Each structure stands twice: as structure tokens, then as C-alpha cells.
Structure 1
Amino acid sequence: MSQHTARGTSGAGPETGWAAGGTLFAGVLMMVTGIISLFEGIAGIVEDEVYARVGSYVFSWDLTAWGWVHLVLGILVAVTGWGILKNMEWARYLGVALASLNIIVQFLFLPYQPVWAIFSMAISVFIIWALVTTESRNTV
């Protein structure tokens, strides 16, 4: 005798549970991270000595240049986070690309803000996971 069980919709698709809530949370995290990066950029542009260098590092830029990098990246990340919250398809792809870029930028920024850089890299990894594990909610 074989037992057949009907597979329900709970947990069957990628749009359930952690991943579905993760997409919404990824959009919020992108907006918050973008705004913090924007303020980080403004601080670096306005006051060049606002960040203390922790140690020597192979790759180094002037802090004003880092300020502009963080300002532009922050604006792009925040706008993309808003697009994710509005469920725009372009925002999902751009969100993965910008989160990947943010990991690289924060790795290079480690000597100036090591704790925030590591935390921001972890947030970006979560954002990438959340955006690639769910499908678009616009199913027609």
C-alpha cells in the first residue's frame, strides 16, 4: 500500500517563509544602508579628517575620494532599495549588482571603519541571498 500526500503550497515555492520576507527586508536594508552610506560620504567630503586610519593598507585613497564613492553608491543603493520595495524588476538585478559592489567597496574601506565595513558586508551578503532566492511577485 502506498501513501500519497498532496503537496500543499506552504513551503513549496520560493516565495514563502524566510525568502519572501527577506526580499522586503532586503529593500528596507538597502534604503537604510544607502542613507548611512550617503551620510558617510558627506562626512568624508566635508571633513577630511573625520575617519582615523587604523593601519597601513595596500590600497588607499584620499578620504575626499572615498567620500564621493560612498555618496554616489549610497544614493544608488537607496534608490534601488526603494525600487525593490515597489517590486520593480530592474531593482532586483541592480540590487544584486550594487550589493556585490558594496562588499568590494567596504572591503577596501576596512582601514577607516573596520566594524561598520564588516557589518555592511554581512548586510550585503544577506541582501544578495534575499534577492536571488525569490522570484518576482509580479506573476501574471
Structure 2
Amino acid sequence: MSDPTSTKRSVAAGTSIGAAAIMVTVGILQLFQGIAAVAKDQVFVVGLDYVYKFDLTTWGWIHIGLGVVVAAVGLALFTGADWARVCAVVVAAISILANFMWLPYYPWWSVLIIALDVVVIWAVSTWDPDRA
């Protein structure tokens, strides 16, 4: 019979590699989303007034910067280094906050990114590469 703790760690290790891939993909997509917002693309519809309302161009630059950072940390996460794991948790938390505030512009995308960031945080937090 296999050890449930060992199985859980194996799943977390595999999910951490997946989390790195998710972070790179999300970073690239946020970069493209930011470029579209800066270019004032017709994809984004500004709805009702929202407490966290910024100019669409400002949001575009925020997503460009965040996308570059998320992708870079995702690439670093493939190494399994402790600093990359800590950065991944911090960057994913910032991404959750930014996408929460981005909800009125693109709600379904924001909810999807928030869910993926939660998976990233869980995977990176539960993976111990020394014990795998």
C-alpha cells in the first residue's frame, strides 16, 4: 500500500511543474491583454462605475508589467529554487488582487485567472522538492 503523504507530495510536485507552465502562459496572455487595452481595442467594454476604476490605458500598462513578471517567475519556477517558489506565491497573490480589480472589464477571464493563481499558490506551497 502506498504512503498517502508520499502520493500527496508527488501530486504537488507534478502540479508545481504545471503551475510553472500555467504562470508562463498566464503571463503571456496578460501581456497580450495589456497590449490590447493600451491600444484601446474594442474587446473591452467599460460598464458601470466601479470602486476600483482606472483608465483602460493604465490597466493595460499594469497588465503588461504584471504579465512580464508572471512569465519570468514562471520560467524561474521550473528550476524549483526556493526563491522562485516564494516569488511565485507573491506574484500569484498580486495577480489575484489585480484580476479582482479587473473584474468589471473582463469578468470571466478575471475569475479564470484568479482560480489558476489559487492553484499555483497551492501547488507551490505544498511542494517540498527536498522530500520528493
Instruction: Specify if TM > 0.5.
Output: yes
C-alpha distance in structure 1 between counterparts of 2:41 and 2:55, whole Å: 8
- Paired residues of 2:31 and 2:65 also in contact (CA < 8 A): yes
Unaligned runs of 5+ in 1: 1-6
Q: Which amino acid aligns with 1:56?
A: D
Deviation at 1:86, TM superposition (A): 2.2
Percentage of pairs with the same residue: 35
User: Is the helix fraction higher in 1 or 2?
Assistant: 2
- 1:45 matched to which residue of 2? 38
Q: Which amino acid aligns with 1:82?
A: L
C-alpha distance in structure 2 between counterparts of 1:22 and 1:138, whole Å: 16
- 1:35 matched to which residue of 2? 28
C-alpha distance in structure 1 between counterparts of 2:19 and 2:126, whole Å: 12
- Paired residues of 1:14 and 1:133 also in contact (CA < 8 A): no
Structure with bigger gyration radius? 1
The alignment covers a number of residue pairs equal to 131
> Where does 1:64-103 land on structure 2 (aligned, <5 Å)?
64-103=57-96
- Paired residues of 1:23 and 1:134 also in contact (CA < 8 A): yes
Instruction: Give yes or no for the alignment of 1:134 onto 2:127.
Output: yes
User: Which residue of the other structure, out of 14, 25, 46, is the alignment partner of 1:21?
Assistant: 14
Deviations 1:18-64 (A, max 9, x none): 21111101000000000000001111112265410233211100011
RMSD, aligned α-carbons: 1.9
- Paired residues of 1:48 and 1:64 also in contact (CA < 8 A): no
What is the TM-score of this pair, normalised by structure 2? 0.90
What is the TM-score of this pair, normalised by structure 1? 0.85
